[in-house]
Amino acid sequence: MTILLPLSSIPAIRLVDGADERIYRIRRILLWRTLRSLSGVEPVRVWIGPMGGREGGVDRYIRTLVANSAHRFKTSKEFPMLLWGLRWVGRTIPVAGRLYGEYLHRARGIEVAHVHRSATYAEAFKQTEARLPWLYTLHGIGFEEHWRHRPDVVRWIREAKELALQSVRLAPLATVVSRWLKEWVEERTGTTVTVTPPGVDFREVDSVGSSEFLEWSGQQPGFLLWVGRLAFEKRLDWFIELAERLPERRFVALADSSASRFREKYWTRIPSNFRYYGRVPRPLVVSAFHACSVHVNTSLYDAAPTTLVEAMACGKAVVASDNVGAREIQDESGACFLFDTQSLADLEERTRAALNHPEVGARGLAFAKEKRDWAKLVGFFDRQYEALARRS
């Protein structure tokens, strides 16, 4: 009888003060591989990607999956040359895509490919499916109704939806990150997909406390926290407006853009109780979740908002707009304060309620541990990698 031994099952033994985290990680991987070898189970070599180049929700999903899986991975960034092909009588015959899959299989020993969000990669791996089996994970879709002021974005969203559905149809196995997205896909494709929600790596959560961010930033604990991108749909301007409405509270925003980029967009309306930090290292972002009192997510739409669960894993109350992704987390956890997506007054009211009821954070923590711990979630993917590898 062979036993699948996930990396997350190995105890997280702390090193002495000042030890390099990379050395700690390498030692754990070596221990894991030794135990796997003794158990007689060979890990599957998995290609996974493409990575987006910024630490957004999809990239964190991939990184934490890799960190907790029992298998070996080659992570990949976007490869523009994958689009290269030969033009013939008005159409493009993809060449690089087929060569890429063959290269990974023959030269790099890849046994399974796991494509996230990219229709380009899905189409490429479909061509080498007989030798390199693959699966596809859809992370979300855009919502046209919020972009009526941008016809170009509306067209892009429509095209992206069609490509996403095409990728699901092409894939031998497809997963999605939320129940509502499963219903949307199955209604339009007739294909059965599995829900694989984004989780939390509790080893990461437990590796820091509040002090790291507080010492780095000079902040005091208890601020309200926003984490995201400087994108229209993420609505940082609503968080800034909330800071103006609650002048007695302190507000901190962490985003993927530099402080100069932030000032270009918002320099005319920055209240004195608001602070912005750009491109913050990941450990400090986790530390900020520990240090805050409430996490506020103002996004117009989300498929499965990762930051809500990350804040819950730190025992914090969360406020979010009443969109399909946040509503699904509220239905499962009962730990969200949802506000009307179009009402700043309701955002203020729900934020005040969250501040007055910090005990709700314990409910969110219980949900994160039971339903969103990557140490538990990763088993599904580990089994699928092994099953797909046996087909090739």
* CATH number of the domain enclosing 192: 3.40.50.2000
Tell the burial category of 272 from Cβ atoms under 10 Å away from its Cβ (0-12, 13-18, 19+). Answer: exposed
Is 182 or 97 the better-scoring residue by pLDDT? 182
Per residue in 349-360, pLDDT tens? 999 999 999 999
| 27 is a domain residue | no
User: Is 360 found in the same domain as 270?
Assistant: yes
| 338 is a domain residue | yes
Mean pLDDT of 71-95: 67
Is 82 or 115 the better-scoring residue by pLDDT? 115
Per residue in 198-256, pLDDT tens? 999 999 999 999 999 999 999 999 999 999 999 999 999 999 999 999 999 999 999 99
How many separate domains does the chain show?
2
CA distances from 273 to 232, 245, 247, 250 (A): 23, 11, 6, 5
| 3 is a domain residue | no
Torsion of CA 169, 170, 173, 178, to 10 degrees: -50
Q: State residue 13's pLDDT score.
A: 39
H/E segment holding residue 384: helix 374-391
Q: State residue 10's pLDDT score.
A: 46
Between CA 298 and CA 220 the distance in angstroms is: 23
User: Is 366 found in the same domain as 229?
Assistant: yes
User: Is 246 found in the same domain as 159?
Assistant: no
Sheet bearing 194-195, strands edge to edge: 72-77, 45-51, 112-116, 134-138, 174-176, 194-195
| 20 is a domain residue | no
- Mean per-residue pLDDT of the chain: 89
Q: The domain containing residue 313 runs over which residues?
A: 202-371
Mean pLDDT of 296-318: 97
User: Is 273 found in the same domain as 238?
Assistant: yes
